[in-house]
Amino acid sequence: MNKTLKLILTVLALCLVFVAQRYLSTPAIPTTDEEGSPASESLLLQEEDEEAFSLPKGKDADKGTILVEHEGFTLLFDTRTMCPLWVAWELTADETRGKVTRQGVDFKADESVPEQYQVEMWDYNGGQFGRGHMCPAGDMKWSQKAMQDCHYMTNICPQNAELNKVWWEHLERACRQWARQDGAVQIVCGPVFSDNPKRFGKKHKVAVPKGFYKVVLSLKEGREKALGFYYTNDDAPQPMEDAVRSVDEIERLTGIDFFSSLPDELENRVEAMTDLRAWD
């Protein structure tokens, strides 16, 4: 065997040894999820999401309430008032661009709760209050099922028509704009009742709220912020700047803890905010 051939064989042998050592010392490649992303990364993102967004907590969570999960939102239904105690969802920028319409979609009883609490759309017939969405149809245009689910009566409260069509809708539109600006927002809203609320209904006696709250959280890096709102359930003019409250104020009003999964320093800072201009 000549020297040149021996040299070539030696180099090949060394290359094979190097490749084998590197392969054996390399950690196993993570499996991928259905989207093609590494499973370890998917799990990490899931854990981050769970830390960033938690369902509200409150003193009434175990008193005649039923937790209901629907496409795109979760609510805690209060069997004493026949209204949700709160409704919570995340709205992303992409979801605000959905094309699903309300055509052919109507209000319906929610079979997720026992029959005696299944408020019907006709329970509101003849009353002076309309069917007010808590999680709005305008936020659920990204999915036909989400659009249908937001018309369950567990997501509905008796709401003054002027408030529903003007001032409350102004806030809903603003939330969609904020989601587009910041990439996503987290929203919780619901009714506030007096000690002895008025009731109406053909079969199920639904309590009429004295007002409504909404809290909004953005976790855009470097611009983390939150804001609360409170509207009275009447036809008085209520521009958004007059309805502004801190999340801390809404928590004291409702007895609900909204963003408890946030680190304490961040939670304390954003829940004290009252500057609407920070959302421009």
10-residue mean pLDDT profile of the chain (280 residues): values are 43 43 38 35 36 73 88 97 98 97 96 97 91 98 98 98 97 98 98 96 94 98 97 97 98 96 97 97
Let me know if residue 221 belongs to a domain: yes
Instruction: Locate 30 and state its tokens.
Output: 């993570």
Q: 185: which DSSP letter?
A: E
Q: Number of folded domains in the chain?
A: 1
Is residue 41 one of the residues assigned to a domain?
no
In a domain, 2, yes or no: no
The span from the CA of 264 to the CA of 68, in Å, is: 28
The token pair at 112 is 């997720």
The whole-angstrom separation of Cα 274 and Cα 222 is 18
| Phi, psi of 150, deg, nearest 5 | -70, -5
Contact 226, 216 (CB under 8 A): yes
78 within some domain: yes
Q: Is residue 110 part of a domain?
A: yes
- Cβ–Cβ under 8 Å, residues 101 and 143: no
3-class secondary structure for 237-254?
A: CCCHHHHEECHHHHHHHH
Q: Any bridge partners for residue 92, and if so which? A: 184
Within a domain: 201: yes
How far is CA 126 from each of CA 122, 129, 131, 167, 202, rounded to the nearest angstrom? Answer: 9, 9, 12, 23, 9
- Domain with residue 255: its CATH number is 3.40.570.10
pLDDT of residue 62: 65
**pLDDT for the residue 54:** 82
CA max distance for the chain: 105
The Cα 160–Cα 127 span in angstroms is 10
For residue 53, what is the enclosing H or E element?
Answer: none
pTM of the predicted structure, to 2 decimals: 0.81
If residue 9 lies in a helix (H) or strand (E), which one and from where to where?
helix 3-25
Flag whether 14 is in a domain: no
| Domain around 91 | 57-279
Residue 195: inside a domain: yes
